[in-house]
Chain A
Amino acid sequence: GAVVSQHPSWVICKSGTSVKIECRSLDFQATTMFWYRQFPKQSLMLMATSNEGSKATYEQGVEKDKFLINHASLTLSTLTVTSAHPEDSSFYICSAILPLSINEQFFGPGTRLTVL
């Protein structure tokens, strides 16, 4: 149980375009999901916390107008990278926690974004 999926697994786009990444909890309802970014040989950096039915909470330094997060249902959160630039190229990973539990995060397989 507690499986999280992401789609797409990889995407290549042109500079200036927008890309949407989906994160789904397949067998449980996730009121809270997290979005991370990981550059090569670096640690996972939390970008934002996504709460179902409310606005996302962004970490310092993350532009909320550039990284749009929508958590419209208990099983789906989306991250849209707007007007992508090459420096946005990274590995984007989402995670979810079980209701009433913050002890363990279940991570998706990640999405590799390459902006040309």
Chain B
Amino acid sequence: SQKIEQNSEALNIQEGKTATLTCNYTNYSPAYLQWYRQDPGRGPVFLLLIRENEKEKRKERLKVTFDTTLKQSLFHITASQPADSATYLCALLDGGSQGNLIFGKGTKLSVKP
């Protein structure tokens, strides 16, 4: 069965630096992969979707890459700010389902001023 691994449980960086979060999956390459932000006690908020035929996707200070050979997605936040502090979840579509997502455990990002 498909498994998602977000290797870093926590990441601490200084304001202004680039945060890089990693998401690896173990089995088949999904049609697309998503990244969500989750604040404490709140539901996840969709950030970006990248398809298997896309190498890179950008949205403002966010950048996502997708390497189907490595079975890995990288999520970058440039010029990080304390407001970016949250848990970031990687998710991919469960094969053959009607939109069921499989989530990683997330990486808790803390941006220090």
Measuring CB to CB, which residues of chain A are less than 8 angstroms from any residue of chain B? 4, 6, 32, 34, 41-46, 49, 91, 93, 95, 97, 102-110, 112
Contacts and interface: CB of A to CB of B under 8 A. Distances in A.
A110 B43 contact: yes
B105 A43 contact: yes
B95 to A, nearest CB: 12
Nearest to A112: B41
A52 B103 CA distance: 24
Contacts, number: 57
Interface stretch (B44-52, B56-64, B67-75): B44-52
A43 B41 contact: no
Interface string B89-106: 100010001111111111
Contacts of A46: 100-102
Contacts of B42: 109-110
Summarize A's interface: helix, strand, loop or mixed.
Answer: strand
Contact of B46 (A41, A105, A109, A112): A105
Residue of A41, A43, A95, A107 contacting most chain B CB atoms (<10 Å): A43
A21 B9 CA distance: 30
Contacts of B93: 102
Given A34-B99, A44-B44, A45-B103, 15 more contacts: A4-B43, A6-B43, A42-B105, A43-B4, A43-B103, A43-B105, A46-B101, A49-B97, A49-B98, A49-B100, A95-B43, A104-B34, A105-B101, A110-B42, A110-B43
A77 B60 CA distance: 34
Contacts of A102: 93, 98-99
A106 B46 contact: yes
Given A103-B49, A106-B46, A109-B42, A34 B89 contact: no
B32 interface: yes
